Amino acid sequence: MKHPATLLEKFFRGECNEAEKQAVTAYFAEHPEALQPWLTEESWHSFHPEHTLSTDVSDKMLAVIESSTWEKKKVKTIYYKWIAAAVLGAALTGFAWSRYHHQPVAPIAVVTPTARRVAAPDPYIQQANHTRKIMSIRLKDGSTAALAPGSQLKYLSSFAITGREIFLTGEAVFKVAPDKNKPFTVHAGNLATTALGTVFKVTAWNAVKGPIRIQLISGKVRVQPDSLGNSKGLKTTYLLPGEDLSFDPVRMTAIINKNGHTPNKQVITKPEKEIFTFNNEPLANIFRLMSEKYHLTIQFQEGTLSDMSFTGTFDSSKESLTDFLSTIATLNNLTIKQTNNVIYVTP
């Protein structure tokens, strides 16, 4: 007789009574091939019988399996008969229970290591003067740089926050805002010029082969060589107003000119605490204004000052008129000479 599929499913779920178990067991004993649909690879690997077969029975099964290499069809029937015999009774019931109730092994949780956050690099900001005029640049710390045509500045975007380091190619005059906690340093070739609240000029068009010149206009600066310069015997130098240093990067030699242009002492009484602000103002207009305010004569040839202008501030309480005019002259490659109450401006 054939058993309905529902009874077989009930048997493999372990829900049959004793009479139904015996009926299904007898059925599989007569029809072992009926076990084939229930013998999946998953159920076979998950099945663990409670009792082992006797040696005689297991030897017979092994002999049948080994003969499968030359008599497949016959072995197939015999194979199912031995399998049926192996799973009859309690073993078959255990197999059925394993078939329907085996729980897969819980997967092992994979812990992914937290990726270390890499700080983004601090990018450089570059400012270049591609015009034919001096370009005034105001930095984040309040300092200003008068950048000559064809020159370039480079500094970190965190400038004035983590420090004040600038790299120069070309020529520029720096007017430094005071900050004792953050020295202002300009790097040009093998030299680093550091200042606190001062005005100085750095010229370094070709820092590899050409000369580097540092001119102090007001205040005080420290000129320090890099590691290569130190190895060649260069020493740290301090410049005073009017002094300038010339450095030869090929010979690795530095010369300090103490007879450079030193602004003459201002003999005219200056107005107290007067501030002048200029925005791209022609130099001729500035000289006329200063001549009127300070009651002195400023001589210049207006034709030589064409296309020359100045952007910045003159605070008479912080610097003398002579210092201010010297700054303008340095920015525009002019010469300032004073005799009594007359100031001469020449190219």
**Domain spans of the chain, in order of start:** 5-101, 124-257, 275-346
Write the CA distances from 171 to 187, 212, 306, 332, integer angstroms.
12, 10, 21, 11
Tokens of 47: 């099945």
81 alpha-carbon distance from chain centroid: 73
Same fold, 124-257 and 275-346: no
Tokens of 170: 């070309």
Name the CATH architecture for the domain at 275-346: 3-Layer(bab) Sandwich (3.55)
Write the CA distances from 168 to 172, 185, 192, integer angstroms.
8, 10, 10
Strands (E), 135-243: 135-138, 144-147, 152-156, 164-175, 184-188, 191-195, 199-204, 212-218, 221-225, 237-239
Long-range contacts of 156-164 (CB under 8 A, 24+ apart): 156/122, 156/123, 156/124, 156/125, 157/122, 157/123, 157/124, 157/125, 158/122, 159/125, 162/122, 164/139
- Other beta carbons within 10 angstroms of residue 188's beta carbon come to 24
Please list the pLDDT of the chain residue by residue as tens digits (347 residues): 456 667 777 777 777 788 778 787 777 777 766 666 666 655 555 555 555 556 665 666 666 555 654 444 444 444 445 455 554 554 455 544 444 444 454 455 555 556 666 667 889 999 999 988 888 999 999 999 999 888 999 999 999 998 899 999 999 999 998 888 899 999 999 999 998 668 888 989 888 888 898 988 888 899 999 888 888 888 999 888 878 889 988 888 898 887 544 444 433 444 456 788 888 888 888 988 888 787 778 888 878 888 888 888 888 777 788 888 888 888 888 888 877 668 888 88
pTM of the model: 0.47
Write the CA distances from 284 to 8, 25, 126, 263, 301, integer angstroms.
113, 120, 32, 20, 9
Q: What is the pLDDT of residue 261?
A: 45
Whether 263 and 242 have beta carbons less than 8 Å apart is answered as yes
Tokens of 313: 């501030």
Whether 308 and 276 have beta carbons less than 8 Å apart is answered as no
Pick the CATH number of 124-257 from 3.90.550.10, 2.60.120.1440, 3.90.78.10, 2.60.40.1930: 2.60.120.1440
Phi–psi pair at 293, nearest 5 degrees? -70, -35
| Exposure string for 127-137, b = 16+ CB within 10 A, e = fewer | eebeeeebbbe
Whether 286 and 328 have beta carbons less than 8 Å apart is answered as yes
Helix, strand or coil, per DSSP, at residue 343: strand
Phi–psi pair at 60, nearest 5 degrees? -65, -40
Q: Which residues pair with 193 in a beta bridge?
A: 186, 223
| Polymer length of the chain | 347
Whether 254 and 246 have beta carbons less than 8 Å apart is answered as yes
Among candidate residues 222, 216, 214, 199, the one with its CA nearest the CA of residue 318: 199
